[in-house]
Each structure stands twice: as C-alpha cells, then as structure tokens.
Structure 1
Amino acid sequence: MTGVTETVRPSESYYHLHLVSDSTGETLISVGRAAAAQYDVKPIEHIYPLVRSHKQLDKVVQAIDEFPGIVLYTLTDPELRNRLKTYCRDHGVPVLSVLAPVVQLFQAYLGGAPEPRVGGQHQLDGDYFRRIDAMNFTVMHDDGQHVDGLEAADVVLLGISRSSKTPTSIYLANRGIKTANIPLVPSLPVPPGLAELKRPLIVGLLASADRVVEIRRNRLLGLNAAQAADTYTDRQAVAEEIAFSRRLCARHGWPMIDVTRRSIEETAAAIIALLQERRRKLTENPNG
C-alpha cells in the first residue's frame, strides 16, 4: 500500500466516495448521495455492504489506499470501527460515522448508552412484514390489474402512460403503503366503482406533454418499436390525454400532482403528505 500523507483533493471532474457498512448500506448511500448532490463534482461510489470481519475490512482498506477520497461508515463492531478510523487518520483520509452525531443526540435526550445492533432497522418485525404485504399488493394491482380489490388499497394512482405510476407505486409499497395504479386512456372507461371507493386516497399523476412524449419515444426506441408510435408519441394526442386526466380528477375532487420536474421520491413524499392529512381528518371526523 502506498498510503496518503495529506488530505486528498478531488480532480476537477470527480472524486472517490467510500461507503462502508456492516448492514445493507442503504443509510450510507442515501446520506452520501444527498450530500454529494450539493456539489457539481460527481463522486465515484465504492460501496461495501456487510463488512463484519477484519478480512472483509482488509479489502476496504486496500481500496481506500488505491482510490483515496471521502470515507463514510456505519460499523457497530468497535474493533472494526477503530481500525478504519485509525487507518484514515494516519493516512490523511477524511472519515465520518454518519450515525454517531445522531446517536449522541438521542443519548443526550433519552439518557443511557445505546445498544449497538447490526442492521437494527432491518429486523423481521411487524413493520417489515407490513412492507412485504404492501409490496405483494402493489405488484398484484399494477397497471389496472385486479380492480375488484381496490378498496383494500391505501393509495390508488391514476395517470396516462409514462406518468411514473409504477415506480411511484413500488416506492410507496416499500414504505408499507398498499398502492394500486390505473392507466387512464380517453377511449376506455375507468374501472366501475372507482368513484365510490371509501378507504383509499386517489391521486392523479400528471406531466407536461413534452415530457411524456420524450419518455414514450425513448421507451419505443428501447423496444425497437419506433414504427409503432402513431398517436402514442403525437404531442397533440398526448395533450388531449392529459386534459382528459385533469377533467376526470377535477370532476371527482381527486388531488393531482405534476411529476414533470419531480423525482419519484419527491412525488412519493407529496402523496404521503396527502395521505397523512387525509387520515388526520378522518380521525378527527370519522363520519365526515
């Protein structure tokens, strides 16, 4: 190992970001990407999940030595944690435990020392099985399937083709929210009984015509079906589909979310906020 004797500076175009976890690494990836998004320089990610032995840490240290950069970690084992910190300190590599400041805050407020648990957020508890149940429901009710079971949904998403219904549904399901999605086609009737649903929150997803056309064209190219485009990628036809969606949601008072410039995560966050507000109102006025 050559080692690094001073703080590493990124090149003009990239830098290395090492994410070391004794669990799945999801927390690190989220935190690392959220921080990296604040800068124009793009990171090259090196992700090391399930690091629970010195042999596994050997490979991590070797990679850091070869590609020095920022090191973020969540390691429960004190020996592994101290070894990584010592190596980085001795070689001038910036290193941080992303959970340590948060745990210290909890400890100061709650009192007592925490009980370290590897992958504690991934326990096979009630929340875990609730997410699995939601995922199964969502897959079964994707793209207008099994509309007879919509009353059991927490959320029903409506939208024309390529309005991010399926990825948003999957994201919500991973949060434990049973989500069905239904494609809207002006020439076809919506599922019978949709307007009479009581339990689920019904939300329309909208996007600009230009955005929908762009996604549809890319979709057709990926399927080698460019010649089958016809009205599917015609801007005027798409605009009419969007207008149909708007009229339908407005007629029934269903909230609409424009996803043109929203990520899946942002769209899901907006839906969750609507769902929480709806549940709060139902709790306060169950007969309303």
Structure 2
Amino acid sequence: MTGVTDAARPSESYYHLHLVSDSTGETLISVGRAAAAQYNVKPIEHIYPLVRTHKQLDKVIQAIDEYPGIVLYTLTEPELRNRLKTYCQENGVPVLSVLAPVVRLFQAYLGGVPEPRVGGQHQLDGDYFRRIDAMNFTVMHDDGQHVDGLEGADVVLLGISRSSKTPTSIYLANRGIKTANIPLVPGLPVPSGLSELKRPLIVGLLASAERVVEIRRNRLLGLNAAQSVDAYTDRQSVAEEIAFSRRLCAKNGWPMIDVTRRSIEETAAAIIGLLQEHRRKLSESSGA
C-alpha cells in the first residue's frame, strides 16, 4: 500500500473512521474504539453494517471518497473484500481487515481452510438462548424485585443508589450471566436469607461519596426535581450509606468493587473473574 494522501490525513482535532461489516459491526466497533482510545484525536465514526451487495458497497466507497480516513472491515465475500481493499490502496486510504490476522493464526494452528460464515458469531444456538434467558432473569430481578428467586442467580449485586448496579447487571446478562441487584437503602433491612445464599456470587459495588453525590444531583436535574440538600445528595449522609455497605459486605465476607473510576465493562470484567473463582470453589466443595 502506498503512503496516505493529504485528504486521508487527520485534522488537528478529528479524523474519519469507517467501519465496514457484512454483519452487525459489533466486532469492528469494539476494536476501532479500543484503538482510537489510545489517541487524543477523536474519530468521527461511519458505521456500515450488513454490507452484502455491490450496491451497498457503492455507498460505502462514495462515503470514503467524500470523507477519507481509516477503513476497518470484516467482509466475508471475496469480491466485496477485494474491491474495497483495492479502492483504498489505489487512493492512499489506510485499510485493514480486522479478522484476517486472527484467522491466519487459527489456520496456522488448526490447519485446513476456514469456511467463512457471515455473522457466524450470531447464531441461534444454545449460547444465544442462554443470553436471552439471562436477560429476562436480570430484568425481572432488577432493583430488588422478586428476591424470593435469588438462589437462581449467578451474581447478586448490592449497592446504594447510583452505584451502577443496573447497567452492570444488564452488561453481565448480555454475557449470559443471570444477575440480580439489590439496593441498600438507609433504614431498610436487606432481604432475609441473603447471607444464606449458596449458588450466587454476591458482590458489593462502592463509589466515592463525591462521585455518588455528583451522579445523584445530575439524576435529579434530569428528572427536573428540585435540588434540595437532603439526605439523598448530602455528602455526609452518602458517606454513611457507603460505610454501611462496607460493613455489611465485610461482615458477610462478600467481595467489594470500587466503581468510582471504572467503566461498566471494567466492573463487569472484575465480577466475571470473581465468578470464575467462586464457581471453582463451589465445584471443589461439591466434589469433596
């Protein structure tokens, strides 16, 4: 491939990022954003999912011609793939097949020739229906609902208001993990029998008082609620809520995760690591 043309070079503040896929584009979006996060220059994303015909590719090429930038693609059809690659190379536009290096590695190890399947990771198989089941369970057990069914959970999250319980639960459910979450409310007891649960991993989510107060105030603004310095947004009251949740988790030996500076994805990754260890211990104890 030749050097990048002046038109394809980024400005001082942004650049164009074209993500071309014959499936949903989730893989490309994740990879593109992970790479883009390493730089201060912000990408303007152009996402093209379900590109499976030459007519659809025509529109993609027209957009790349109008807004040159980096092109990442996952195209299974050889003609479409080669056409996009050739166009970019001839016009000095940086282009990369995201999956090609990975597939070559698999091929070198496994041998044989891969059988390309469009959207092969999105099959209606057992894993898919497991995720749907987990999502249904999580929605039904959000914010302290149906506490009588907690033994069926894989994970139970505890935390005060605005500690990212619900978005973390939904993210975990999308990974096929049945997740319930229970709010810790001042003056209200936790569900009876919580400490007797055996199967689920119970995790406390914590955040700094400053962070919780900030989120709660923004929440009230979003609801057009009056901003009053009551217990909900008072820093001292919030600090006492956090201290209570710490004592509760410490008393019961439940792990705690500080989400103050963590993204939802990072929090979920930490929980998945704890869940794997929890399941290993359960397996060892049941086999003893």
What TM-score, normalized by structure 1, do the two folds share?
A: 0.97
Give the whole-Å Cα distance in 2 for the aligned partners of 1:253 and 1:36.
39
List runs of 5+ in structure 2 lacking aligned partners: none
Contact residue 72 and residue 97 of structure 1 kept, 8 A: yes
Please tell me the root mean square deviation across aligned C-alpha atoms, in Å. Answer: 1.2
Distance in 2 between residues matched to 1:145 and 1:86, nearest whole Å: 55
Structure 2 letter corresponding to 1:128 = Y
**How far did residue 73 of structure 1 move?**
0.2
Other-structure match for 2:69: 69
Q: Which amino acid letter does the alignment assign opposite residue 253 of structure 1?
A: G
> Are the structure 2 counterparts of residues 142 and 122 from structure 1 closer, same or farther at C-alpha, using a change threshold of 3 Å?
same
Answer yes or no: is 1:267 the counterpart of 2:279.
no
Hey, what does 1:40 align to over in structure 2?
40
Which letter maps to 2:177?
A: I
> Which 10-residue stretch deviates more, 169-178 or 222-231?
222-231
In structure 1, C-alpha distance between the alignment counterparts of 2:226 and 2:33, rounded to whole Å: 35
Is the CA contact 2:22–2:51 (under 8 Å) kept in the aligned structure 1?
A: yes
Report whether the alignment pairs 1:145 with 2:145: yes
**Aligned position for 2:164:** 164
Match of 1:116 in 2: 116
Q: For 1:132 and 1:147, how far apart are their aligned partners in 2?
A: 20
The yes-or-no answer on 1:53 pairing with 2:53 is yes
Give the CA deviation at 1:7. Answer: 7.0
Structure 1 residue 8 displacement after superposition: 2.0
For 2:80 and 2:273, locate their aligned partners in 1 and report how far apart those are by CA, in whole Å.
Answer: 40
Show structure 1 runs of 4+ deviating over 4 A.
Answer: 4-7
- Matched residues in 1 for 2:212 and 2:72: separation? 38
Aligned counterparts of 2:153 and 2:92: Cα–Cα separation in 1: 52
**Within 1, Cα distance between the matches of 2:37 and 2:196?**
43
> Does structure 1 retain, via aligned residues, the 8 Å contact 2:155–2:201?
yes
| Residue deviations 1:128-161 (CA, integer Å, cap 9, x gap) | 0000000000000000000000000000000000
Three-state SS of the structure 2 residue aligned to 1:15 is strand
State yes or no: 1:136 paired with 2:139.
no
Equivalent residues, number? 285
Whether the 8 Å contact between 1:151 and 1:200 is mirrored in structure 2 is yes
Aligned equivalents of 1:183, 1:13: Cα separation in 2 = 42
- What SS class does the counterpart of residue 121 from structure 2 fall into? helix
Q: Percent identity?
A: 89
Three-state SS of the structure 2 residue aligned to 1:180 is strand
Distance 1:6 1:210 in 2: 46
Partner of 1:21: 21
Q: Which residue of 2 aligns with 1:82?
A: 82
- Compute the displacement of 1:185 (Å): 1.0
What is residue 191 of structure 1 aligned with on the other side? 191
Asked if the contact 1:138–1:179 (Cα under 8 Å) also holds between the matched residues in 2, the reply is yes
Q: Tell me whether 1:231 sits opposite 2:231 in the alignment.
A: yes
Asked whether the 8 Å contact 1:7–1:94 carries over to 2, the reply is no
Aligned residue for 2:188, secondary structure, equals: coil
The one-letter code of the counterpart of 1:261 is R
2:28·2:74 contact (CA, 8 Å) conserved in 1?
Answer: yes
> Cα deviation per residue 1:60-106 (whole Å; 9 max; x = unaligned)?
00100000000000000011001100110111000000000000000
Deviation at 1:287, TM superposition (A): 6.3
Question: Offset of 1:230 from its aligned partner?
Answer: 1.6
Measure, in 1, the Cα distance between the counterparts of 2:226 and 2:43: 35
- Asked if 1 retains the 8 angstrom alpha-carbon contact of 2:7 and 2:68, the reply is no
Give the drift of 1:282: 1.9
Q: Which amino acid aligns with 1:255?
A: P
* 2:12 counterpart of 1:12: yes
1:187-219 CA distances to partner (integer Å, 9 max, x unpaired)? Answer: 100011111111100000000000000000000
Q: Please name the residue that 1:208 is paired with.
A: 208
Partner of 1:251: 251
Q: Structure 1: state its 5+ residue gaps.
A: none
What residue number does 1:283 align with?
Answer: 283
One-letter amino acid of the structure 2 residue matched with residue 262 of structure 1 = R
Q: Residue 274 of structure 1 aligns to a residue in which SS?
A: helix
